[in-house]
Every structure is written in C-alpha cells, then in structure tokens.
Amino acid sequence: MADDTLTDFAREPFTHAGRSHVVLRSGTGPAVIVMAEIPGITPKVAQFARRVRDIGCTVVLPDLFGVAGRDPDPKAHGWTGAAMTGLRALAHICVSREFTTLAAGRTSPVVTWLRALAVREHERCGGPGVGALGMCFTGGYALAMATDERLLAPVLCQPSLPLAVTAGKRRSLDISPSDLRTIQQRCEAGLTVLGLRFRGDRIAPAERFAALREKLGAAFIGIELDDEAAHPEGLLPPHSVLTEHLIDEPGQPTRQALDQVLDHFRTRLLALPDPA
C-alpha cells in the first residue's frame, strides 16, 4: 500500500483537562472510537476504520502518535523510512507522560482524555452509546474506557500492555483495581468485552486472555486464531489481527474475526429497539 491521504476524514482538535490531540472523523451514526497500534494511523488502520464507518457508524480516530496516513511498509519508503516511522512513534510514547507501558494495575493517564472524547462523541452522534476498539499498545484502553456506562461495545485487539517482560506482567492488565471493579460490575449487568489475538503472539500473551476470562467471566469473549491464519506477508510474526495480518477474503479466519467485530458494533450500537 501507499500513504493514505485520509481526505475522507475531517480533522479537528479535542482538548480535555489540558490534553489536546487531533481527532479524525468520518461517517454518521453512533460513534466508534478506533485507537491505532504503533506506529499510528496507518493505511490499514484507516482501511479498518472505513469498514466500521460503512456499517453505519461514525468512526473516530484519535491521532495519539506517529504520522497519520503514513505507510510503515518498507515497500513504500524503504527500510530506513520504515524504521524511522516506528522510531518516531516509540520516541513520542517513551517521553510522554500520557502512556504507561510497564506498570501493572494502573490506568494510563490518556484514558481520561479518551473517556471525555467518548462522552463528547455520544452527545454529538447520538445512539444508545459508544463503541471503542484498541490495538496492541492501545488495546487495553478500550477496556479502561468502559467504566463509563455510555461505552457499550469494547474490543481489545492483541492488547500488549503492560509489556510482557515477566511472568507476572504477562497476566497483568493496564487498568487500576478500582476501574476493573467498575467494569466487573458492568459485566455482571450485561456488558460484553471482545478480545482478539493470535495464539503464538508473545506480545499479547495467552496469560493475559486467561486473566481477562478470570476477571470478567463469561462476559469476555476471546477470539484466538492459529498463527497459520495470519497473512504471510506481514512484517512481524502473527500479531495484528485486523490490519497487518488480515487476509480479507471470505472464509479466512481473520476475515471471520473482522466480521465478528463489526457484528459486535452492529448488535450493541445499531440494533433497532423491539416494537412496543
């Protein structure tokens, strides 16, 4: 793929509690906030966002790091360009106090901003509530955002934080105990949390999904795919279910996972109420 101009997205800043980021928006209908993986809003992340838009939702992409629209594939900018794309995003994350990468049992400060964005988008777009999907570095943010009852459809794609550098970290979640208790109560009341990963993925380890099942019970629906289902041309080992490693063909396991995510949003945000 080449760089994506993103001309079908409107751009505007959103500021809350002293934090400000540009937000990309497209579509109409209930809002779904899509948080990109490193190195940012790549063409494949934008492609996924358009799929969300096309089911009848307003897709909202916070531009948290990286260069929106830039293709990280070496075929687009060479190996040096690809390396610089990733390093710039990592450098921003490492120096910013908005992101927590190693601490377990802690909600990243940027989640407060994301929750406020969800509130604003619900007021703006209407509907029964808001959806949220995080990928890799941002995967757990979708869960932490669900402390707000307006968040009806959280999706965790290969959640990678805290970094799985020890056995304890592999079972840990990037969410505070109080936030987790709130979400557990919401799960008992009917909230469903969707999770996706490849079985051999060490960045989003199996232990983390086991912990989510333990903490959330039947409310957590974990979709775990065989590594052989990943697109063979992915730059990294099987990891990004809905973007880099998606095989967008009917019958492919990754396509089925994509369809399940879209159905999750349809059911919780677009389903018509029963007639009185």
With a CB cutoff of 8 Å and minimum separation 6, the contacts of 97 are 109
Q: What is the pLDDT of residue 58?
A: 98
For the chain, the C-alpha Rg in angstroms (whole number) is 17
Q: What is the pLDDT of residue 78?
A: 77
Question: Do the Cβ atoms of 264 and 133 come closer than 8 Å?
Answer: no
Q: Which amino acid is at 111?
A: V
> What is the pTM assigned to this prediction?
0.92
What pLDDT does 161 receive? 87
Structure token digits, residue 86 = 């990733």
Residue 112, C-beta contacts closer than 8 angstroms, at least 6 positions apart: 16, 17, 19
Among residues 169, 168, 158, 160, which one has the least CA distance to residue 224? 158
Structure tokens at 161: 């934080």
- The DSSP call for residue 168 is H
Give residue 274's pLDDT: 43
| CA atoms of 159 and 139, how far apart (whole Å) | 4
Per-residue pLDDT tens, the chain, 276 aa: give them.
689 999 999 999 999 988 899 999 999 999 999 999 988 999 999 999 999 999 999 999 999 988 888 888 777 777 676 667 666 666 566 555 666 654 556 677 889 999 999 999 999 999 999 999 999 989 999 999 999 999 999 999 999 988 887 888 888 888 999 999 999 999 999 999 999 999 999 999 999 999 999 999 999 999 999 999 999 998 889 999 999 999 999 999 999 999 999 999 999 999 754 443
Q: Which tokens hold the place of 107?
A: 């909600």
Q: CB–CB of 175/146 below 8 Å? A: no
Q: Is 216 left (phi over 0), alpha (psi -120 to 50) or beta?
A: alpha
Q: Is the N-terminal amide bond of 39 cis, ω within 30° of 0?
A: yes
Question: Which residues, 6 or more positions from 273, have their beta carbon under 8 angstroms from its beta carbon?
Answer: none
Query: What pLDDT, on the 0 to 100 scale, is given for residue 275?
Result: 40
